[in-house]
Amino acid sequence: MKLNKKHYKLFKDECKKWIETFGLREYSFAYEFTELKDAFATSRTSYDGKTAFLKLGTDTGTLLDHNKDINGLIKEWALHEVLHVVLNPLFELSIARHAAR
């Protein structure tokens, strides 16, 4: 299924809602609507730089049934990607060489 600018706006608005809910004010967020391979949405976060880059794919391929609630799925993807940002400090600490055993 091809996604459009309306879907992208929903994704961004939903991300912003969750960013505000989780109080991620110290991060700088950027968004992109682009072709993705093997994902509906992705995120990349720099804990040190306090930046996060959230992407929504332009096409869901044949993985989704056209009868599914695409808006509901986009809202779930937005929450999922923002949760990556929320959990990033814990992930960074878990792989740090200086973390105590």
Tens digits of residue pLDDT in 18-33: 999 999 999 999 999 9
Rounded to whole angstroms, the maximal C-alpha distance in the chain is: 50
Q: Is the pLDDT of residue 2 over 70?
A: yes
The region of weakest confidence among 27-31, 58-62, 88-92, 95-99 is 95-99
pLDDT over 70 (residue 99) = no
Mean pLDDT of 82-89: 93
Confidence bin at 45 (pLDDT 50/70/90)? very high
